[in-house]
Amino acid sequence: MTVPALQLERVEKRFGATPVIRGISLEIAAGERHAIIGPNGAGKSTLFNLVSGALSPTRGSIRLDGTEIAGAPPYRINRLGLSRSFQVTNIFPRLSVFENIRCSVLWSLGYGYSFWRDTEKLRDAREHAERALERIGMTARRNTPAGVLTYAEQRALEIGITIAGDPRVILLDEPTAGMSRGEAEHAVALIRAVTDGRTLVMVEHDMSVVYGLADRISVLVYGEVIATDVPARIHDNAAVQAAYLGSADA
């Protein structure tokens, strides 16, 4: 039996007396594309924060490829092969687009805290970064300071930073938020391409994006997963319809 890429077991999170995640158990297989949907306030971002190390769970276990990561700091989880993007664009504004990407591959290529090598001369870092730049379609803007990019460009860079280090598990937090239909379609194609062969967990509100990409969907309501299934069955699931999809389908 292969080890699931990501395994959550009875994960809980309380802020003071307020429970936000009320016990989530979930298994995501390697190579699977998994979407997490749910109404606002369900705890989707909190869940991402728990998995990526921004928060520690109050209880429960989170395993990445079998290794326990609950409560580990973000950098350790990233080094184990998990990378996440942010809903509010979280880039390095004063660095160029190229530098943004290059900084995100340095650790995965083993350069660590090296203070004796010239980064410009690191061919593998440059090639990795340029490859990632091409995949997100930003090669033309490589020398632009990230802070002056347009919103859509910054979202693309956001994804670029997330995937550049060749992570095995990718978490994307509302990757198409704020995009027009055309931009979202473009983003979906990009996401499909860059997550090929990797495990993807995605929080999304745009149902067409979800149906287009996901192998399975989990529905999160009030900190609990009320259903996990393939898209077709989720669509028909009565409980899900009542809690979330209702009559207003995206």
Partner 1 sequence: MSESAVAARAPPAAGAVSGRTPGAWLWLGAAGVLLVLPHVPGLDSDYGRSLLTQMGIAAVFALSFNILFGQTGLLSFGHAVYFGLGAYAAIHLMRAINHGLPVPIVLVPLAGAAGGLLSGMLFGSVTTKKAGTIFALITLGVGELVYAATFMLPGIFGGEEGLTASRTRAPPLFGLAFASQLEVYYATALWSLAAAMLIHAFMRTPVGRICNAVRDNPERAEFVGYNTRRVRFIAFAAAGLFAGLAGGLSAINYEIVAADAVSAQRSGTVLIMAYIGGAAHFVGPVLGAITITWLQSSLSGYTSAWLLYLGLFFIVVNLYAPSGLAGLLLMHGRVARTRAFGALVGAYAVALVPAAVMAAGAIALIEMSYRVATQPELGTKMRLLWTAVDAASAWSWTIAGLALVAGFAAFRATWPLVAGAWERANAEAAGQ
Instruction: Give min distance, CB of 201 to partner 1, in A.
Output: 15
Give the separation between CA 31 and CA 132, rounded to whole angstroms: 20
Q: Cα torsion for 135, 195, 72, 92, to the nearest 10°?
A: 20
One-letter amino acid identity for 199? T
CB 220 within 8 A of CB 26: no
Out of 73, 137, 178, 246, the only residue in the binding site for partner 1 (CB under 8 A) is: 73
Give the separation between CA 15 and CA 6, rounded to whole angstroms: 24
Which lies closer to partner 1 via its Cβ, residue 7 or residue 100?
Answer: 100
- Which among 217, 187, 236 has a CA at the least distance from the CA of 38? 217
Site for partner 1 in 21-60 (CB under 8 A): 52-53
Out of 22, 63, 79, 235, the only residue in the binding site for partner 1 (CB under 8 A) is: 79
Q: Does residue 118 interact with partner 1 by CB under 8 A?
A: yes
Out of 3, 30, 95, 226, the only residue in the binding site for partner 1 (CB under 8 A) is: 95
Out of 31, 39, 60, 74, the only residue in the binding site for partner 1 (CB under 8 A) is: 74
Q: Does residue 222 interact with partner 1 by CB under 8 A?
A: no
Which lies closer to partner 1 via its Cβ, residue 112 or residue 238?
Answer: 112
Q: 156 to each of 149, 153, 182, 191, 199, how far by Cα in Å?
A: 10, 5, 14, 10, 19
Using CB under 8 A as the criterion, which residues of the chain lie in contact with partner 1 when the complex forms? 52-53, 73-75, 78-79, 83-84, 86, 90-96, 98-99, 102-104, 106-108, 111-120, 122, 143-145, 147-148, 150, 161, 165
